Amino acid sequence: MAASLVGLVIRRYPRTGSAKWVLVTLADFANEHDLAWPSLATLERCCCMSRSTVARAVSVCESDGVLSVQRPPRGVRTSSRYTLNRAALAALPKLTDRLHGATSDWFDSDNLTGSATPLHRFDSDASLVAPRDPIPYDPSGTPQEREAPEALSSALQAVFTQAGKQPSARDARKLAALERTHGSEIVTEAAWEAFEVDKVRADYIAGIVRNLLADAGAS
């Protein structure tokens, strides 16, 4: 097991969901040359994913420039050979830097080899991570005013737009409170992770935020 390589993937590769889990698994199988050759069946069992999901995750890692795959010729029954790009992973900033003042353009696709594309939720477009001024909430207002959803940051709203839904008034208030407490960027990161498993809900996002803060050693 290449322990240092697993650590690089966990602490620096900013994908969530299947792509990251498959890359962590490949890093665990890798030898001292960062080379691994588990079968697709083995990856299915270790990652608890279907073969098609594993294949898509591998393609994502390839496009990000952190993995190269040597596939066997058609008709040859042998495993693909996976080489993890240690240099590309090491060039990425630590994910915990985002909790301590890192700017929105911290993920730079130039740090990746090949024709990597920046990951969508960390796009350097400032409009996706711009801070917001919350709408004042007046508890003495009419019931209609009290039920009005709070304005979410443009980055968080983008998650719901891509999901094809809008948060309920109750969820909007909870999410706005999360943003005020923990910051827009970490809540947006959690929302993207929830989006990838089709659970864009305030309580679910709050749980991911708690895990991110715990992983970063925050109180």
pTM above 0.75, yes or no: no
In which residue are the tokens 């990856």 written? 43
* Of 207, 66, 184, 193, residue with least CA distance to 128: 184
- Domain 3-93: state its class: mainly alpha
pLDDT given at position 2: 57
In the predicted structure, residue 159 carries a pLDDT above the cut 60:
yes
- Residue 35 is classified by DSSP as E
The residues spanned by each domain of the chain are: 3-93, 125-215
Give CA–CA dist 146/127, Å, rounded.
28
**Using one digit for the tens of pLDDT, what is the confidence trace for 202-218?**
888 888 888 877 776 65
**Using one digit for the tens of pLDDT, what is the confidence trace for 62-95?**
999 999 999 888 888 888 999 999 999 988 888 8
In the predicted structure, residue 30 carries a pLDDT above the cut 90:
yes
* Of 149, 142, 145, 195, residue with least CA distance to 168: 149
